[in-house]
A and B are shown apart, each in its own frame.
Chain A
Amino acid sequence: MFKSNRSRRLAADILTYVVLCTLAAFCLGPMVWMFLTSLKPEADIVTSQMQYIPTHITFENYVAIWTQSNFPVLITNSLIVTTVTVAICVVTGTLAAYAFSRLVFRGRNNIMLGYLLIRMFPAVMMIIPLYVMMRTVGLVDSRFGLALAYTSFLLPLFVWMLKGFFDAAPKELESAARIDGSTRLGAMVRIVLPLARNGLVASSVFIAIAAWNEFIFALMLTTGQGSRTWPVGLQLMVGEFQLPWGVLAAGGILSILPVMLLFAVVQRAMVQGLTAGAIKG
């Protein structure tokens, strides 16, 4: 009886690990493959025999994409668009989320519901009207215009996320601050924001990653070099008759570096933000 119990538990453990490893392989496999490919010379990539581990490691792909294409411009554009998107979201979204969390006004719940509803429409449906609007106001093919477009679908998400963090901060703290001499806005900035800091970081990183990786809006709303972002740029490197695998892989690796760096820096705050309320009663 005892033995069969133990062996059953062992079997369950093995099964668990098999499932987890399979999932991990599916998640990490493409990344690893991309990384390995980026280190191979072009001749070693397309071969008759599958070659997993590069036989001789080269950085020529990285040099090529950085010097012989407009990749630096693409990355810069992406950085600018992402930064502007995050900036708009943080400023307006924080104020909005605070208002939704603390003030009672007519239509509050309906507006929040509306924000959720917007997320349910496929992005493709919104692109054409958005394109027409952007063209009317002359914001097509501009980095600011693209950031505005991103804001239009990321801001509702940001407000929803942040409202949850604000709701978790005790209201009495602001009451205390208001009696101590703060204005309502002052109480928010001095008392509530430091408390919701982790949530703010987590929500901002979420927005930043979404904006950084966005493809369809960028493809539709940018036409020239001046505002094109890296996902579109990489896509356009795929020609009809040639497919520069190595260079594309190097571009991919370079593009996820900023995201990884961002994660490394804010990782602690973000994990705390995402689990806030889970452990504190």
Chain B
Amino acid sequence: MATLSLKDVRKSYGSVQVLHGIDIELEDGGFLVLLGPSGCGKSTLLNIIAGLDETSSGDIVIGGRSVSNLPPKDRNIAMVFQSYALYPTMSVERNIGFGLEMRGTSVDRRREAVARAADMLQVTHLLDRKPANLSGGQRQRVAMGRAIVRDPDLFLFDEPLSNLDAKLRVEMRTEIKRLHERLGTSIVYVTHDQIEAMTLATKVAVMKGGYIQQLADPRTIYERPANMFVAGFIGSPAMNFLRGRLGRGKSGWQFMAKDICLNLGRSKEKLEEQEVILGVRPEEFKVVHHDIAAAFHGKIDVVEPTGPDTMLTSLIGGQSVIARVGPRFAGRYGDDVSFTVDPTSVNLFDPQTKLRITW
């Protein structure tokens, strides 16, 4: 168990800079998810933490010890790879125990540690097999066994679930969370899957183009995204962005656009009259029946029942809006529809800078 801090970590390949001054602090026992689209630098950053790649500048501190100049083997970390990277020529037992073998642990203690790890991951019956004779889920468990057996300071996961089918992925996600709760070891986890980020992380770093867009707990990332990229990247269906104008009304500030007039509540002194983009999560829309007090008035475009909810696409003043409504919603194409929204749940973005306007 240890803290992790990255201090102004930069990385360039030739003249191409792929990481621009990354600063991250992870508390002891924390679960940091590096989230972003492919090519955002998240895997490079993970490799740099592992020591498989070198920094161009900056410092990496694990448990109070600067490891920037140490080879991977001396950083006391363990890593689970996307392809699992099990040694194909070795049995499962030797795969799990390889790290201990390399560190010269005695055979007895090694066997004991491997047995304990295998038991925790329910792979005891597979110990004699070769990796080629395992299913995807079993390989994943063995790869995790190899990581936990050494009791490292820090776990690194590189998109560990992306090669599994959907059902198994959910299972293994739960397994990873359980493992983290039981072992309490700090984890850095790379993924492009926002659900994994939301469910697992204590801290999420959303990355794009080698910059951290936002570093915060999952709740904050979801509810108060720092900019439009983060807002659009997290959540499915994505946050609705509506163009309009901020103006002062009778009862305080209002967001106004064609067929939209949303009271933002008490007077917010920090705001000024300007063009803005309103960000509303699909689940924040409430359908109301021809209420004059409704803020949004539009026509139904598409109704998509998914089972637990219905996704309702409407056209409001020429802007397309997706709302997540109850499963028993009974509207049809072309019907009129009206919504209200809790004004505290919405976000305002500056159309120029794309940044969230705090208020």
Q: Residues of A at under 8 Å CB distance from B?
A: 170, 172-173, 175-183, 186, 191, 194-195
Contact = CB atoms under 8 A, between A and B. Distances in A.
A177 B81 CA distance: 12
For A170, A176, A178, A191, which residue has the most chain B Cβ atoms within 10 angstroms? A176
B52 A178 contact: yes
Given A173-B87, A175-B50, A180 B81 contact: no
B311 interface: no
B32 to A, nearest CB: 18
A173 B143 CA distance: 11
Contacts of B88: 173, 195
B187 interface: no
B92 interface: no
Given A178-B72, A183-B73, A173 B52 contact: no
B71 A180 contact: no
A180 B73 contact: yes
Contacts of A177: 87, 98, 102
A195 B89 contact: yes
Q: Is the interface of A mostly helix, strand, loop or mixed?
A: helix
B146 interface: yes
Nearest to B143: A176
B81 to A, nearest CB: 5
A41 to B, nearest CB: 54
Given A182-B73, A183-B73, A194-B89, A175 B99 contact: no
A183 B81 contact: no
A179 B77 CA distance: 7
Contacts of B83: 170, 172
Given A170-B83, A172-B83, A175-B52, A181 B99 contact: yes
A164 B77 CA distance: 31
A183 B85 contact: no
B79 A183 contact: no
Contacts of B71: 178, 183
Given A175-B79, A176-B87, A179-B75, 17 more contacts: A172-B85, A175-B47, A175-B81, A176-B81, A176-B85, A177-B98, A178-B51, A178-B72, A179-B50, A179-B79, A180-B73, A180-B99, A180-B102, A181-B99, A181-B102, A182-B102, A186-B102
Interface residues of B, number: 24
Contacts of B102: 177, 180-182, 186
Contacts of B51: 178-179
Contacts of B146: 176, 180
A175 B81 CA distance: 9
A175 B50 CA distance: 9
A117 to B, nearest CB: 27
A123 to B, nearest CB: 38
Interface string B65-87: 00000011101011101110101
B103 interface: yes
Contacts of B150: 180
Contacts of B103: 181
A176 B79 contact: yes
B79 A191 contact: no
Contacts of A195: 88-89
Contacts of A183: 71, 73
Interface string B26-62: 0000000000000000000001001110000000000
Contacts of A173: 85, 87-88
B353 to A, nearest CB: 38
A258 B63 CA distance: 60
Contacts of B79: 175-176, 179
Nearest to A175: B52
24 contacts: A170-B83, A172-B83, A172-B85, A175-B50, A175-B52, A175-B72, A176-B79, A176-B81, A177-B87, A177-B98, A177-B102, A178-B52, A178-B71, A178-B72, A179-B72, A179-B73, A179-B99, A180-B73, A180-B78, A180-B146, A181-B99, A181-B102, A186-B102, A195-B88
A119 to B, nearest CB: 31
A176 B47 CA distance: 11
Contact of A179 (B78, B82, B89): B78
A138 to B, nearest CB: 43
Contacts of A181: 73, 99, 102-103
Nearest to A191: B87
Contacts of A175: 47, 50, 52, 72, 79, 81, 85
Contacts of A186: 102
Nearest to B87: A191
Contacts of B82: 172
Nearest to A173: B85
A183 B89 CA distance: 19
Interface string B170-210: 00000000000000000000000000000000000000000
